[in-house]
Chains A and B, each alone.
Chain A
Amino acid sequence: MDLHIAHLYPDLMNIYGDRGNVIALSQRARWRGIEAEVRPYSVGQWADPDWPDVWFFGGGQDQGQDIVGADLAGKNGAGLRRSVEGGAAIFSVCGGYQLLGHEYVPEVGPAIPGVGILDVTTRAGKKRFVGNLLADSTDGQLIGFENHSGRTFLGTSAKALGTVVVGNGNNGEDKTEGAIQGKVIGCYLHGSCLPKNPWIADQLLIWALARRHGDVKVDPLDDRDELAAREQAIGVARARP
């Protein structure tokens, strides 16, 4: 069995250690004997938008985000939408999460359109949310570190990924963190997210493998180190929000 992982704009959207999510996806596949290949997809002509089983889309600096937004406004945004309709999964963090929504409304000037894959909208906020982020979810607690000034609000088609316990999450108002819609996930969890929240990584693997390999079971891994790191980080988040 093999797995195709696409890293979206790794040259422009790669801050706060988000690369760890790609490392986690590919290692957790390899540890189960699944061959994983990672390919970069950046600005300009994409070799084959139908190749990826799962896309990773991280956060970036302002300059990077502007260039990427412009690139996704064209053919590549359409390619990404078609890929998701064809069964690919996406995991996105921070800037990538915002760009997958309907639009980003800056403090001044016109709204910047997003790809529209997630039913969320983001508005610029004045105060930056920086700190540990802990959220409850039905499948377990989520832990990470947030660093964003955008306020993201969910529409009716997107469900919250979790409920904020420590930190601000989507917008600092409604206690929601992240969004999930079909096989697409967005969140504000840097850290990196997937190594310390391995059930999300495994869910993404199952979704991704299903595109070309049908329903597959993934073998459980020994996650004691992952859970120990999560427990330690949760302890810090509770003590020093």
Chain B
Amino acid sequence: MPDALALVATAAGKLTLEGLRLAGRGGTALPGLIALTLDPDFISALAGGLPHGVVCVSGTNGKTTTARMLSDILRSSGWEAIHNRSGSNLDRGVASALLADATWSAEPRGNVGLFEIDEASLPGVVGRLRPRVVVVTNLFRDQMDRYFELDALAKRIGEALAGLPRETTLILNSDDPLVASLALRRDAKTIYFGVDDPSVGGVVPQAISDATRCPRCSSPLHYDRVILAHVGEWSCSNCGLTRPARDVAAAKIVLGPSGSEIVLAGTVGGIFEPLRVPIPGLYNAYNALAAVAAAGALGIGLAEATRALVNFRPAFGRHETVQVKGRTLRLVLVKNPAGFNAAIGALLETGRNPRILAALNDRDADGRDVSWIWDADFEALAPSVEHAVITGVRSRDLALRFKYAGLAEDRMEVVDSSGAAIDRAVALAPEGCEVAVVATYTAMLELRAALARAGMVSPFWED
């Protein structure tokens, strides 16, 4: 039974939520903030009442898609998830999600919590949620004006995970040495997922790597196969630390323009049918492996999980498609070099010459430091770009990046307003063509708002 303080916090939070709804606002964090201010233990008080427990999904890239995939799997298994879906993934977002689905007597209406947690917030929030399952997708450099250095962040996450009860299952990416090593300090249950298909990746290390050193002994890591940045088949020849055996493995991946097919293998058992992921990109294949592995930890079988993903629909800006005047706009959110490189990979995998609408902002939610664009592999993209329309608060930095990557001046142009940039990109693409819209968070919100004004999409918070 929740205590009096939790009841007061619930009432205040729910009143705020109702008020925002009446005012027609889709605010996602304020009600949670109010509840947390009144009762700092609000999250533990409410999450403790969930019969199937709590799942946390964290990591630099892919947490929204992974959580959303898992949500589909849980729903098709008849579970009711409380999910912080709207992208507000700090602890106040978790509190807001709990509030929205709580009764006025502070009891949750769902039976499982599914929380997407910002990797920098994970150490602070994970102890309060006492999760049954924690998924970490990957760790890359991201918005370093806020998070600073990756080694230190990985260390903090590892320490927080080490403090969890032994019953907690960790779902970790075996191919990311920083993530795989999060379990080093812990003797609890761990399920590793990874890509075994030898045709994925190459032997040449990619330009930017965040973890070239062994997480245990700091010696240089050796790679037999590099998949993306520091993700791959890694080992340390000094202390013997090596990529752990995969419990959920992609033995074979066929990548296509609208999705991929994965032949599963590993200790969790195989299934006859391939896993079909209906959004393109190798990184989304990784997200599907993570979601299937997490479902397994909750007792949901592979066949059931695979079936649930067939109809998966992507979230805001995660390969969401919008039709505009006979052209398809594919919205791809980017925020860091690894995410950008993965997005480029997905564009180039199609074999087409991409038409691009690119937008760079430097507001708080984007990361105020735009330096990261110089770490992203524009050199791989530039030779195949058909045309790029460039916009955003820092459009000129982005245009300069394209120029130094070798994109000819007559293949790019800067357009200041979001609406005009969309019009221009659409006008330049022949009917039936696809335009890849690659943008940082607030830039994507602005582009989406322009599309909403033109009646092309519904406003964001109805998502």
Chain A: residues with CB nearer than 8 A to chain B? Answer: 11-12, 14-20, 23-24, 27, 43, 61-64, 67, 128, 130-132, 145, 147, 190-192, 195-196, 225-226, 228-229, 231-233, 236, 240
Contacts and interface: CB of A to CB of B under 8 A. Distances in A.
15 contacts: A14-B208, A18-B371, A20-B374, A23-B374, A27-B404, A61-B150, A63-B218, A64-B213, A147-B369, A190-B369, A195-B401, A225-B396, A228-B396, A229-B396, A240-B368
Interface stretch (B108-116, B127-135, B141-149): B141-149
Most B CB within 10 A of own CB, among A43, A63, A130, A195? A63
B394 A236 contact: yes
B373 interface: yes
A71 B362 CA distance: 36
B104 interface: no
B388 to A, nearest CB: 13
B446 interface: no
A191 B371 contact: yes
Interface string B211-252: 011000010100000000000000000000000000000000
Given A17-B375, A20-B374, A145-B145, A62 B369 contact: no
B399 A128 contact: no
Given A24-B404, A226-B400, A236-B393, A145 B368 contact: yes
Nearest to B152: A62
Nearest to A198: B400
Given A16-B369, A145-B370, A63 B213 contact: yes
B374 A236 contact: no
A227 B422 CA distance: 25
Contacts of B396: 225, 228-229, 231-233
Contacts of B373: 17
A135 B152 CA distance: 31
Contacts of B209: 11
B240 to A, nearest CB: 20
A145 B144 CA distance: 11
Interface in B142-198: 144-145, 148-152
A145 B146 CA distance: 13
Interface string B390-432: 0001111101110111000000000000000000000000000
Nearest to B395: A232
Given A11-B212, A61-B150, A229-B399, A17 B145 contact: no
A45 B295 CA distance: 49
A16 B144 contact: yes
A12 B212 contact: yes
A96 B401 CA distance: 23
B312 interface: no
A18 B369 CA distance: 12
B207 interface: yes
Interface string B355-369: 000000010000011
Contact of A145 (B369, B393, B399, B404): B369
Nearest to B375: A17
A183 to B, nearest CB: 23
Contacts of B371: 16-18, 20, 145, 190-192
Contacts of B362: 236
Contacts of B399: 225, 228-229
A12 B151 CA distance: 12
Contacts of A24: 404
A229 B150 contact: no
Contacts of A147: 144-145, 148, 369
Contacts of B207: 19
Contacts of A67: 213, 218
B218 A18 contact: no
Interface string B270-313: 00000000000000000000000000000000000000000000
Nearest to A67: B218
B65 to A, nearest CB: 26
Given A20-B374, A147-B145, A229 B400 contact: yes
Contacts of A19: 207-208, 374-375
Nearest to B379: A23
A19 to B, nearest CB: 6
A17 B150 contact: no
Contacts of B405: 23
B50 to A, nearest CB: 38
A149 B400 CA distance: 29
B234 to A, nearest CB: 14
Contacts of B148: 128, 147
A17 B372 CA distance: 5
B150 A191 contact: no
Interface in B374-391: 374-375
Contacts of A192: 371, 374
A18 B372 CA distance: 9
A24 B400 CA distance: 10
Contacts of A43: 220
A240 B218 CA distance: 39
A135 B375 CA distance: 24
Given A63-B151, A225-B403, A233 B394 contact: yes
Contacts of B393: 232, 236
A234 B249 CA distance: 49
Contacts of B152: 61-62
A108 to B, nearest CB: 17
B37 to A, nearest CB: 26
Contacts of A23: 374, 404-405
Given A20-B404, A62-B149, A229-B397, A15 B374 contact: no
A30 B18 CA distance: 61
Contacts of A240: 368
A202 to B, nearest CB: 15
A98 B454 CA distance: 52
A233 B397 contact: yes
Contacts of A145: 145, 368-371
Contacts of A18: 371, 374
Given A191-B370, A229-B400, A15 B394 contact: no
A67 B207 CA distance: 20
